[in-house]
Amino acid sequence: GAGVSQSPRYKVAKRGQDVALRCDPISGHVSLFWYQQALGQGPEFLTYFQNEAQLDKSGLPSDRFFAERPEGSVSTLKIQRTQQEDSAVYLCASSPGLAGASDNEQFFGPGTRLTVL
Amino acid sequence: AQSVTQPDIHITVSEGASLELRCNYSYGATPYLFWYVQSPGQGLQLLLKYFSGDTLVQGIKGFEAEFKRSQSSFNLRKPSVHWSDAAEYFCAVGPPAYSGAGSYQLTFGKGTKLSVIP
């Protein structure tokens, strides 16, 4: 079946532009995560949704970052006034149940590579 | 705060040789432990996970990992590497369910890049 998809796969933005990154999780998955992966680093947590509720946004690096999942399926990560340090791969992951369940695997999308010039 | 250390940034092995990738973690309790693989341009794929029970866990693609509580380690092994195993490998920890944490994000190490010589 279809996995997690993300679009666009690549995005180039000029500094100061706003960008929107989309995540289509696996159908029916309750939990959705966003991670940021800088070059040469491991993914770092940004935010977590349980259905439409954003339960944790402690990893968002600044108030320029905003995420939503209004209908509990597709999610959008928006970055306002992009800066060069925002350049990274943004990964989305979904899992079928509530986060923390011992058999709850996170399924990752291919990511969106954002380059800010 | 939790952390994951993967001391080897890059490892090169010959095809058919054995492999061990190291992972050490720092956590207040025994976390859930994971190994993921990432091929270029691809998302992360779960290789195996440890929650409790037998400390030697088997995963996909012939990988296994051993949890050693006394060493806070979760090293990944494979007895015979194939050229298709060339990729980046990430160790990750997540809070156990009983921690009561508000969310259950994974904390990743910086990764080990594996190169395979034919």
pLDDT digits (tens, 9 = 90+) for B60-85: 999 999 999 999 999 999 999 999 99
Q: How many CB pairs under 8 A join A and B?
A: 67
Measuring CA to CA, which residue among A51, A1, A6, A7 is closest to residue A31?
A51
Which span out of A4-18, B19-33, B95-109 was modeled with the highest average pLDDT?
A: A4-18
Name the architecture of domain B3-117. Answer: Sandwich (2.60)
pLDDT digits (tens, 9 = 90+) for B17-65: 999 999 999 987 778 899 999 998 788 999 999 988 889 999 999 999 9
Q: Which of B99, B106, B107, B110 to mutate to test the interface with A (most CBs of A within 10 A)?
A: B106
Phi and psi torsions of A46, nearest 5°: -110, -55
Using pLDDT thresholds of 50, 70 and 90, give the confidence band for residue B111: very high
Which residues of chain B does A106 touch, with a Cβ-Cβ cutoff of 8 Å? Answer: 46, 106
Eight-state DSSP code of residue B110: -
Of residues B34, B29, B43, B101, the one with CA closest to residue B72: B29
Judged by a CB distance cut-off of 8 A, whether residue B105 touches chain A is yes
Cα A104 to Cα A114: distance, rounded to the nearest angstrom = 29
Residue A75 belongs to what H/E stretch?
strand A75-79
For residues A67 and A65, what is the distance between their CA atoms, to the nearest angstrom?
7
Mapping DSSP to helix (H, G, I), strand (E, B) and coil, where does residue B114 land? strand
Q: Residue A106 and residue B90: Cβ atoms within 8 Å?
A: no
Rounded average pLDDT over A15-28: 97
Determine the Cα–Cα distance for residues A44 and B107; give it in Å rounded to an integer. Answer: 7
Q: Give the range among A73-82, B24-33, B91-100, B109-118 with minimum mean pLDDT.
A: B91-100
Contact between A75 and A22 under an 8 Å Cβ cutoff? The reply is yes
- CA–CA distance, A49 with B52 (Å, rounded to integer): 26
The pLDDT assigned to B1 comes to 76
The CATH class that applies to domain A5-100 reads mainly beta
What does the alpha-carbon distance between residue B88 and residue A80 come to, in Å, rounded to a whole number? Answer: 31
Instruction: Give the mean model confidence (pLDDT) for residues A52-72.
Output: 94
B111 and A41 within 8 Å at the Cβ level: the answer is yes
DSSP lists the bridge partners of residue B81 as none
Q: Which residues of B20-53 are buried (b: 16+ CB within 10 A; e: fewer)?
A: ebbbbbebeeebbbbbbbbeeeebbbbbbbbbee
Cis amide bond preceding B40, omega within 30:
no
pLDDT above 80: residue B101: no
